[in-house]
Structure 1
Amino acid sequence: MKLNNNGILAAKGFQAAGTHTGIKKQKKDMAIIYSEAPCTYAGAFTQNVVKAAPVIWDQKVLSAENTVHAVVINSGNANAVTGATGHNDTQTMAEVTASSLNIQKEEVLVCSTGVIGVPLPMDIVTQGICKVAEQLEDTKKAATEAAEAILTTDTFAKEIALEEQIEGYTIHVGAMGKGSGMIHPNMATMLAFIATDVNITKPMLQKALSKCVNLSFNMITVDGDTSTNDSVIVLANGQAGNPIIDQEGEAFEQFQSMLFEALKYIAISIVKDGEGATKLLEVEIQNAKSFEAGKLLAKSILTSSLVKTAFFGEDANWGRILAAMGYAGVPFDQEKVTLILESCVGSITLFKEGMPIKFSEHKAKRILEENEIKIFVEMGEGVEKVTAWGCDLSYDYVKINGEYRS
């Protein structure tokens, strides 16, 4: 599997653009991804009961078995909890995009991200869509500008592209995403878009996406909040020309592996960019009874405010980790638990098979000073390994979110 530097436009037959239209004061705020060839479409969406109008539109398109040609995305306004007006505005965005690209509105997906509960400035939005549609290109510059246009409180664009030989054909997977706050397992305030030229049926594309989302986006957390707009969208236009993937087998497994690596990269990038975050935390639960048990334990560790602040303060207060595991709702034998912290400068065992280990505070401090830290938890109760990602909780998180609308 090779890295490619063309982002969302690595796959054949796709174009994109992103620019400032006026929804935000200065930064880019509108993007379009387009394929002239019709695309098979798969999606995963927020599990929040309160769903934004664009999410409902995209789910409707997915259930209708339509092929798709384009995705239009705005940032700066979530178009969530905006009543009938919000639904009408979403449809208008699809209609204007369709008209600009000479396709049907049912072939357009819509995504929005930003402030909740504020109607879209539709005069700006409609003019902006036309402006972006005129700028569509298949260049690296266009890919990066599209990735920048979907950001909100993010501090950097998140994009990756991969290529792989599958059955003698070169397959590309390009991805871009956004997310920084309101990030929690079972989808989060995040958008992710994947464009691929693989030839695959819709059921198999959805199957691959669902599994990959469960192991990537559903395994990250920043602050325990789950948004109203979360969407992961995959478009496959079949332009690679490979024999159609319509069942499980080696070709399906290879493509699924590509998709997972792309989603994992975007997911970890989101955690690294967590609002106010200074450290990436990776929890690996080893030898758990089941995947679900391991996930609950990892999530409990990573969502604990006391654990997160301890890492921000670079304090090896391991008791907080055990306490967080204890209220995860998973029965386990603490006498079998071993806890190890690791970073690029070394590792240290803090707790072994139910007993505290005397350790060097200086060494622990040095390990915790690094930006990326791994937390290994040996359960000794099964064979399942589960990995999840989160971040610390800093003063800046409160500042960013306290001033979000201003």
Structure 2
Amino acid sequence: MSSSNIKMSSFLQTRTNSSVSSVRNRVAIPVGIQRSATEGTLHRSTMVPKNSVQRPSAVVERQSAMCRPTGMVRTRTDFEFYLNRVYRGHQERRQMKKENEMAVVIQRRYRRHISTSEKPAEKTEEDKKKALEERRGKRKDRDRAWKDKKKVEVKKVAEVQISDQVQHELHCFQDEIVELKWNADQQLEKNFMLDTEPARIVFISSKIGKPELLADAVLDKPNVITIAYDFEKDTFEDLIDRMRSKLNEYKKGCRAQSVCLYCQGGPGFLYVVKRKVLTAVKLKKPSEKDQRQFWTSVGDMMSKVNPDNTIVHVMGSNILGSENGQQLFDDISTLMKPNKVTFKSPLELSEEAKAMIDIYFNHEKYKDWKLQRYTKVDNSLINTFKENTD
């Protein structure tokens, strides 16, 4: 071998040994780990504490430093970025939680300090009432397990507005229906009361003078029915029941052609029963419901066969002595609709009054009653005197 070849081989050998040693020197030994020169083993350095806690990023840096050769540029991986974000987020949440807890404690202590330092103000009666109402309202609004929490919403239906023309047509249509029904009842009554005299009712109050003599003066006819009642005790309901029973006794389902009411009264008012004075103003009051019901019931029991002669005669009082009397009669007639009833109260000295008296009473006996109504002499003595003179 030539000298030149020997020189080249020695150069290559030295070059190879130097490169191997350089590579060995480039391998980084982790922090805290040293190699023993004599034993060739690894042991932990005493400079790093055994129980020390290091940041994850530092651990990653050490591990990456162990794997990369010296002199190379280090680049961060996505996993390192993820670890850093997780760690920073954990620290921030922990710090925020501590701050919130401290804020709650500070507020609680401040409120306790304010409540104990201030003197309680004296509450007035109005404040107590308001507090009581607030507690009651909260008690009503609170949830109850045994009740349904779902509130049913009621939808308000919009009011239907009917024009005046439609209302007028409806009223006319209703009036036509009532008229048809009244005509049908009239025809049925005509067939029912065929060959039967119409009934006439005479009410005699105990408040007038000598009522028993007036009852005795009533015509002795089957169709003329006398009802003498007690002014002090009887009510409007009693009068209606007795009138209905008397009509049924005469003929079941019969109705009265006329009614004669002999009771107390005066210009513009009527006094049928005790504590029930009837006027045009009182007839519209809610407290006089029983009087309105009385006249409505009387109207239902009046005949429809001959409406022009269906009359209520009021005697014993000058009701038409004022304008209020005629207004009272008109209101009662309106109350009796759809039955058509006429009210009359003629003066006893007129021709109309004489014709009315002949319908219900014996003329001679009625005269005797007129003479004796205000006397205090016993009726038996008067009758014996008349017999002796005859």
- State the TM-score, normalized to the length of structure 1: 0.19
Q: Which has the higher contact order (CA 8 A, sep 6+)?
A: 1
**Which structure carries more helix by proportion?**
2
Q: State which structure, 1 or 2, has the greater radius of gyration over its C-alpha atoms.
A: 2
- State the TM-score, normalized to the length of structure 2: 0.19
